[in-house]
């Protein structure tokens, strides 16, 4: 009764505003802490204190700038692998009917149930034996192995929703399977791939344990691991730590501002 | 590439049928290579180690089901299973409910432009690093100067202040609701796009019949969202089952074993006790529970779904 | 894109091949020194090591030292990193390790005796250590880190010490003493503070490592004081130390013989002392404080009158305290507190489990890097070189003869001369967290009142028996069979 077509929705807006404030508070906390000296932090850790201390950013910038560059590099690599494989896998499961399909799909989805920590040590040994330890390939391929599972899941749902007529029509016109994939499926799948890409990016950007275990050279650290170097076991300077957090979040936020609408639309495909 | 060859094949009808039959498998080949190397081999070797007494260094011997037997004798491990059940249930229900409420509220905004801004407002915080969230909630729950206790004192509820993470009666619930109000999630986005997809006719019919908003939600919206709800519930549940970070950053599984869960227990047994065989056995048990869960949900999700040729 | 990756793969192959080829000329050793080398959180250490490495390079152009920086995060992250590397045979040649490793996992480390007895040419002739490397290390420390089999698996360059920091303003404004003659007076001070609505003592308790463990270790040492000497075995006796910690074998034997047992009335005394200190002194909710940093925060913001922190917090306390403060230590226990205290002893908590304990991986033998690694260790510990590292250290006491401790740590030197508590931390007590973690878990449940004294005793005895049974299987001590 409350919300008819022309009805006002003031109470809803207030509740939404309240939810938004709570949702945004961690970000505000992150920014305000990054502008504090350690003493200011002890005085008041909830809100901004004056004067702002920008020195934290200067201190962390050397390490963080390298890490941001590394993360872009790793993210790009993972993105290529994840998108290619999610597309192929999702397409195969979503459009075709074949013997053993459900079993195979279950075998892929089963991987979601395997805790990452369980395979940490065997995976490291394997990566080392493949000569990939301390390299970006050792970062990209194992991580992609985790990310493509959900990617395939999403792309399967996406392809299942596409009308079959499109493919039939193209087939009648004489297109082969490769052409169908390249010229019919991929253009239609772009919104879905965009969604997978964003989820993948968030995952790669924030993954902590694998780079920490894989890499010994801090100049090769991605952002998540680089931030942790400011969290010394014996002494934490929260200003530095949070300045590092803010610095690594900014590139992702900028990107998000540009793609967020597309990302939201892409979800419709699921 | 080998395009000409492929074209040649398509000229022959018999070969075409074979080709069609194997097409999906060919598409799956690169996926299979990636997954076999980087997921299945490590996973199966971990399963193998669960039957050994491997301590990461040097030799090991097969011990059969000894690790599993010991685990089910272990009072702490048994409590981790209950804790996991509680934690996973709270998080799944809370995430779904809050995301659904937020989605319905945003949907009630009729102006599509403003609605988009609300969506963006709730999606942007997704970029925030997760470890940061746990550090922040550590400050919130801190017993002396923590935000929650200070807020309670400020509104005159001094009697309700608690050492939230410091007592077994509240610790598990406290870590379960970290991330409240759970709006900045995939769940919210999936729900809102699914709700937008419900045909206007259905909604208008419901409104014309004089049904209330609540009635519409239960009669129209929820049933229409069955598939996405199951999908999201599975994702949230699986993620919660494997939780390690809240314990690593906040509680180390304590106090006592109040917040200990199989994922973090695995971590402790592997990297603090160096008892890798047993750690792997814990992982296998998590896997089995996840398999049962996903079996149920896959069956629910795909019951009646059609395959496209 | 795919081709790009193929190219990368090939490139990676070429690089690794050329690496193998170049190895013929240069020996490469990897070194991990925990947070002694933490370039991000302690920039001073970065400068110190840049200097040190370049002068080492000058003296040894054909040795390449890969110094691995401290990764931050928690200790368990380090262990995940290390464990994976051990499994892959790729752990650092020279590496940090928690001191109990010398007992529980000695097979991982190279015995250093013959090198310690040999000369160290990096020390000028005529100075101690030139003829016998061992001579530059503190005798007491060397005695304490010696393995029961007579071997040394580690070198210790620094020493960690804990300190009880007091907010003098809070105490003196209430007419309360800032020094106590005995434990009862300390408890009385706590009571007075609590009656006044002030949280007395900041510590935190966790299932893993925590500062509650420090309390646990001095309480149990007081409760069992009259037994400790009886439990000592002659082969571990140590002329340099009047009071020393029990070794793994000694404490295990005490369990085996039913001495360290929940039915021993001394165990009840330990539980009484625990209950007393929890009720009167410890900050409320101490079982929910995640880390030492929060304890520091509580102390600096005036929420607690005292904070039990480390020497390494001295800088932060100096910079952050807006009140008069001092650092002190706990007063001695007397027979009023425990009937088993024969002569009042003031225990300190600290010791070789610091950031400066390094050993050589046993894999260096296979890799052929032993000589280079030993050479680097000799260079690194030579007083003239180590002084710069010590200066950049964050509040650890240096235990190399001829090297001065950093200024901030000097206030703790008197504390470090106090007698060592006889029973060590739960985590180190039986050589690892496999005992320590469940111990802490049970004690937490007991302190919070979740389990009764009888339930605790039942579980605790099971844990003791299980632990010692396992240790007996691993070590085959001769008393085990009886």
For the stretch C97-141, pLDDT in tens is: 765 454 456 678 899 999 999 999 999 998 999 999 999 998 777
Task: Return the closest-CA partner of residue A140 out of A71, A194, A90.
Answer: A71
CA distance B245 to chain C (A): 11
Phi, psi values for residue C299, rounded to 5°? -70, -45
Cα gap C119→C134, rounded to integer Å:
9
CA distance C175 to chain A (A): 26
> Which of A124, A133, A232 is closest, CB to CB, to C38?
A232
What is the pLDDT of chain C when averaged over all its residues? 85
ipTM of this predicted structure: 0.88
Is C68 in the same domain as C174? no
Decide if B23 is inside a domain.
Answer: yes
For residue C443, what is the nearest residue in chain B, using CA coordinates?
B256
Q: What is the pLDDT of residue C239?
A: 64
Is B34 in the same domain as B137? no
How many Cα atoms within 13 Å fall on the side-chain side of residue B24? 20
Inter-helix orientation angle A136-161/A55-95, to 10° = 50
| C349-397 pLDDT per residue, tens | 877 777 788 889 888 988 999 999 999 999 999 999 999 988 887 778 8
Pairing mode of beta strands C304-310, C199-202: parallel
| C163-204 pLDDT per residue, tens | 899 999 999 999 999 989 999 999 999 999 999 999 999 998
Is B33 in the same domain as B102? no
Decide if B61 is inside a domain.
Answer: no
CA distance B269 to chain C (A): 8
Q: Which residues of C touch A209 (CB under 8 A)?
A: 77, 80
Decide if B56 is inside a domain.
Answer: no
Identify any residues that bridge with C351 across adjacent strands, giving them in sequence order. Answer: C160
Number of other CB atoms surrounding residue C450 within 10 Å: 18
Decide if C29 is inside a domain.
Answer: yes
Question: Residue B277: which domain range?
Answer: 75-302
DSSP state at residue C69: P
Burial (CB count <10 Å: 0-12, 13-18, 19+), residue B3: exposed
Is C316 in the same domain as C215? yes
Is B250 in the same domain as B165? yes
Q: Which residues of A touch C2 (CB under 8 A)?
A: 84
Contact indicator for C231, C259 with CB cutoff of 8 Å: yes
Is C148 in the same domain as C168? no
Task: Return the closest-CA partner of residue C467 out of C103, C95, C90.
Answer: C103
Is C59 in the same domain as C96? yes
Cα gap A7→A14, rounded to integer Å:
15
Is C152 in the same domain as C164? no
Decide if C244 is inside a domain.
Answer: yes
| C234-293 pLDDT per residue, tens | 877 766 565 678 888 889 999 999 999 999 999 999 999 999 999 999 998 888 887 888
Cα gap C120→C289, rounded to integer Å:
46
Decide if C368 is inside a domain.
Answer: yes
Q: Which residues of B touch C79 (CB under 8 A)?
A: 271-272
Using only the alpha carbons of chain B, give its radius of gyration. 25
pLDDT over 70 percentage in chain B: 88
Is C285 in the same domain as C408? no
Is C164 in the same domain as C251? yes
Cα gap C253→C233, rounded to integer Å:
10
Q: Which residues of A touch B55 (CB under 8 A)?
A: none
In this complex, the chains that touch A, judged by 3 or more CB pairs closer than 8 A, are B, C
Decide if B60 is inside a domain.
Answer: no
Is B95 in the same domain as B129? yes
Number of other CB atoms surrounding residue B69 within 10 Å: 12
Inter-helix orientation angle B276-302/B66-73, to 10° = 80
C60 or C7, greater pLDDT: C60
Question: CB–CB of B249 and C83 under 8 A?
Answer: no
If one counts the domains in chain C, the total is 2
Task: Return the closest-CA partner of residue C243 out of C370, C177, C144.
Answer: C144
Decide if B191 is inside a domain.
Answer: yes
Question: CB–CB of A234 and C80 under 8 A?
Answer: no
Decide if C4 is inside a domain.
Answer: no
Q: What is the pTM of this model?
A: 0.88
Task: Return the closest-CA partner of residue A211 out of A223, A199, A201.
Answer: A223
Is B159 in the same domain as B251? yes
Decide if B85 is inside a domain.
Answer: yes
Is C370 in the same domain as C329? no
Question: Residue C109: which domain range?
Answer: 25-157+356-392+399-412
Residue C117 Rama label (left phi>0; alpha psi -120 to 50; beta): alpha
Task: Return the closest-CA partner of residue B40 out of A108, A200, A138, C80.
Answer: A108
Cα gap C243→C287, rounded to integer Å:
31
Question: CB–CB of C290 and B251 under 8 A?
Answer: yes
Cα gap A29→C272, rounded to integer Å:
43
Is C50 in the same domain as C64? yes
Decide if B69 is inside a domain.
Answer: no
Q: Quote the Cα angle for C362-C366-C372, to 5°.
A: 80
Decide if C304 is inside a domain.
Answer: yes
Element (H, E) at A258: helix A238-267
Cα gap B40→B34, rounded to integer Å:
9
Give the contacts of A123 (CB within 8 A, at least 6 positions apart).
A142, B38, B42
Strand order, beta sheet including C357-360? C63-68, C27-32, C94-96, C357-360, C155-156
DSSP state at residue C136: G
Phi, psi values for residue A190, rounded to 5°? -55, -45
Task: Return the closest-CA partner of residue B261 out of B251, B274, B272, B271.
Answer: B251
Is B169 in the same domain as B298? yes
Number of other CB atoms surrounding residue C472 within 10 Å: 16
3-class DSSP assignment, residue B186: helix
Q: What is the pLDDT of residue C25?
A: 62
Please name the residue ranges forming H helices in A162-237: 164-172, 177-179, 186-206, 209-214, 223-228
Q: Quote the Cα angle for C349-C75-B167, to 5°.
A: 75
If one counts the domains in chain B, the total is 2
> Among B46, B57, B59, B255, which would you mutate to test the C interface (most chain C Cβ atoms within 10 Å of its Cβ)?
B255
Q: First-to-last CA distance in chain B? A: 26
CATH of the domain at C86: 3.40.190.10
**Interface check C79 vs B, CB under 8 A:** yes
**Interfacial A residues in 55-114 facing B (CB < 8 Å):** 81, 84-85, 88-89, 91-98, 101, 104, 106, 108-114
* Tokens representing residue B298 in the block: 């896959």
pLDDT value at A223 more than 60: yes
**Interface check A36 vs B, CB under 8 A:** no
Q: What is the pLDDT of residue A4?
A: 44
CATH of the domain at B143: 1.10.3720.10
Residue C126 Rama label (left phi>0; alpha psi -120 to 50; beta): left
Grade residue B9 by pLDDT with cuts at 50, 70 and 90: very low
How many Cα atoms within 13 Å fall on the side-chain side of residue C96? 23
CATH code of the region A58-267: 1.10.3720.10
pLDDT over 90 percentage in chain C: 38
Decide if C37 is inside a domain.
Answer: yes
CA distance A172 to chain C (A): 31
For residue B196, what is the nearest residue in chain A, using CA coordinates?
A268
For residue B136, what is the nearest residue in chain C, using CA coordinates?
C290
């Amino acid at each position: 009764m409350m919300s008819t077509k022309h009805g006002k929705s003031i109470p809803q807006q207030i509740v939404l505003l309240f939810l938004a404030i709570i949702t945004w508070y961690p970000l505000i906390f992150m920014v305000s802490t990054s502008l504090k000296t350690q003493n200011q932090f002890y005085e008041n850790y909830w809100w901004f204190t004056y004067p702002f201390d920008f020195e934290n950013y200067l201190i962390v910038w050397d390490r963080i700038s390298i890490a941001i560059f590394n993360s872009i590099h790793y993210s790009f690599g993972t993105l290529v692998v994840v998108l290619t494989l999610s597309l192929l896998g999702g397409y195969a499961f979503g459009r075709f009917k074949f013997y053993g399909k459900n079993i195979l799909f279950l075998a892929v989805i089963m991987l979601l149930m395997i805790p990452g920590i369980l395979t940490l040590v065997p995976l490291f040994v394997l990566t080392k034996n493949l000569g990939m330890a301390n390299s970006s390939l050792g970062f990209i391929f194992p991580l992609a192995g985790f990310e493509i599972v959900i990617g395939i899941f999403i792309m399967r749902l996406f392809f299942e929703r596409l009308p079959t007529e499109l493919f039939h029509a193209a087939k009648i016109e004489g297109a082969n399977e490769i052409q169908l994939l390249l010229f019919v499926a991929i253009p239609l799948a772009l919104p879905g791939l965009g969604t997978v890409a964003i989820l993948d990016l968030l995952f790669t950007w924030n993954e902590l344990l694998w780079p920490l275990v894989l890499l010994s050279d801090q100049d090769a650290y991605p952002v998540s691991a680089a931030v942790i170097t400011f969290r010394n076991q014996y002494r934490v300077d929260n200003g530095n730590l949070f300045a590092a957090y803010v610095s690594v979040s900014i590139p992702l936020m900028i990107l998000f501002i540009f793609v967020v609408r597309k990302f939201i639309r892409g979800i419709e495909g699921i | 590439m080998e395009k000409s060859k492929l074209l040649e094949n398509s000229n022959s009808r018999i070969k075409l049928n074979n080709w069609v039959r194997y097409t999906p498998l060919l598409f799956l080949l690169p996926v299979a290579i990636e997954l076999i190397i980087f997921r299945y081999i490590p996973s199966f070797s971990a399963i193998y180690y669960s039957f050994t007494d491997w301590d990461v260094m040097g030799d090991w011997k097969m011990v059969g089901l000894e690790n599993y037997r010991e685990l089910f004798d272990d009072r702490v491990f048994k409590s981790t299973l209950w804790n996991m059940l509680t934690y996973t249930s709270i998080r799944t229900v809370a995430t779904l409910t809050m995301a659904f409420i937020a989605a319905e509220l945003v949907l009630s905004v009729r102006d599509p432009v403003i609605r988009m801004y609300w969506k963006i407002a709730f999606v942007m915080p997704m970029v925030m690093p997760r470890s940061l969230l746990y550090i922040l909630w550590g400050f919130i729950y801190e017993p002396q100067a923590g935000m929650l206790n200070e807020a309670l004192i400020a509104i005159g509820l001094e009697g309700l202040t608690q050492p939230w993470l410091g007592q077994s009666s509240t610790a598990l619930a406290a870590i379960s609701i970290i991330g409240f109000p759970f709006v900045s999630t995939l769940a919210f986005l999936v729900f809102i796009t699914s709700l937008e997809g419900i045909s206007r006719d259905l909604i208008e019919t419901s409104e014309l019949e004089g049904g209330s908003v609540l009635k519409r939600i239960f009669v129209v919206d929820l049933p229409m969202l069955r598939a996405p709800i199951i999908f999201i519930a599975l994702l949230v549940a699986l993620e919660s089952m494997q939780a390690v970070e809240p314990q690593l950053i906040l509680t180390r599984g304590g106090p006592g074993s109040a917040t200990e869960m199989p994922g973090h227990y695995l971590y402790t047994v592997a990297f603090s006790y160096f008892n890798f065989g047993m750690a792997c056995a814990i992982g296998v048990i998590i896997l089995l529970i996840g398999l049962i869960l996903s079996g149920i949900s896959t069956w629910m999700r795909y019951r009646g779904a059609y395959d496209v040729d | 894109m795919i081709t790009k990756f193929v190219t990368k793969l090939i490139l990676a192959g070429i690089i690794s091949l050329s690496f193998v080829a170049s190895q013929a000329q240069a020996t490469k050793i990897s070194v991990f020194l925990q947070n002694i080398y933490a370039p991000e959180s302690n920039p001073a250490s970065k400068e110190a090591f840049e200097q040190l490495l370049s002068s080492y390079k000058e003296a040894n152009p054909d040795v390449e030292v890969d110094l691995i920086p401290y990764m931050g995060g928690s200790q368990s992250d380090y262990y995940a990193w290390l464990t994976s590397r051990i499994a892959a045979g790729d752990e650092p040649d020279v590496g940090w390790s928690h001191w109990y490793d010398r007992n529980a996992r000695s097979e991982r480390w190279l015995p250093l005796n013959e090198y310690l007895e040999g000369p160290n040419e990096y020390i000028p002739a005529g100075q101690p250590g030139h003829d016998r490397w061992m001579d530059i290390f503190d005798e007491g420390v060397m005695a304490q880190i010696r393995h029961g089999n007579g071997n040394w698996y580690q070198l210790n360059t620094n020493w960690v010490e804990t300190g009880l920091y007091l907010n003098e303003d809070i105490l003196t404004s209430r007419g309360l003493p800032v020094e106590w003659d005995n434990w009862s007076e300390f408890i009385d001070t706590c009571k007075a503070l609590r009656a006044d609505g002030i949280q007395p003592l900041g510590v935190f308790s966790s299932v893993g490592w925590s500062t509650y463990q420090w309390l646990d270790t001095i309480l149990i040492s007081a409760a069992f004081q009259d037994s400790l000497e009886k439990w000592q075995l002659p082969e571990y006796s140590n002329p340099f130390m009047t009071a020393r910690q029990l070794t793994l074998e000694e404490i295990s034997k005490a369990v085996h013989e039913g001495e360290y047992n929940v039915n021993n009335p001394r165990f009840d005394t330990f539980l009484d002392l625990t209950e007393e200190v929890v009720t009167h002194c410890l900050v409320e909710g101490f079982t929910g404080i995640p880390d030492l940093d929060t304890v520091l925060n509580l102390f600096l913001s005036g929420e607690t009158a005292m904070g039990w922190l480390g020497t390494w917090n001295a800088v932060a306390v100096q910079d952050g305290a807006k009140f008069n403060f001092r650092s002190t230590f706990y007063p001695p226990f007397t027979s009023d507190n425990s009937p088993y205290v024969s002569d009042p002893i003031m225990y300190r908590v600290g010791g070789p489990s610091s950031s400066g304990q390094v050993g050589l991986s046993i894999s260096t033998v296979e890799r052929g890097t032993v000589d280079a690694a030993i050479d680097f260790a000799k260079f690194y510990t030579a007083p003239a070189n180590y002084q710069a590292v010590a200066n950049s250290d964050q509040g650890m006491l240096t235990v190399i003869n001829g090297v001065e401790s950093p200024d901030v740590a000097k206030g703790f030197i008197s504390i470090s001369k106090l007698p060592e508590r006889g029973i060590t931390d739960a985590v180190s007590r039986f050589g690892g967290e496999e005992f320590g973690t469940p111990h802490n878990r049970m004690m937490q449940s007991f302190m919070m009142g979740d389990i009764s004294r009888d339930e605790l005793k039942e579980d605790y005895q099971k844990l003791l028996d299980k632990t010692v049974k396992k240790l007996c299987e691993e070590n085959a001590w001769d008393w085990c069979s009886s």
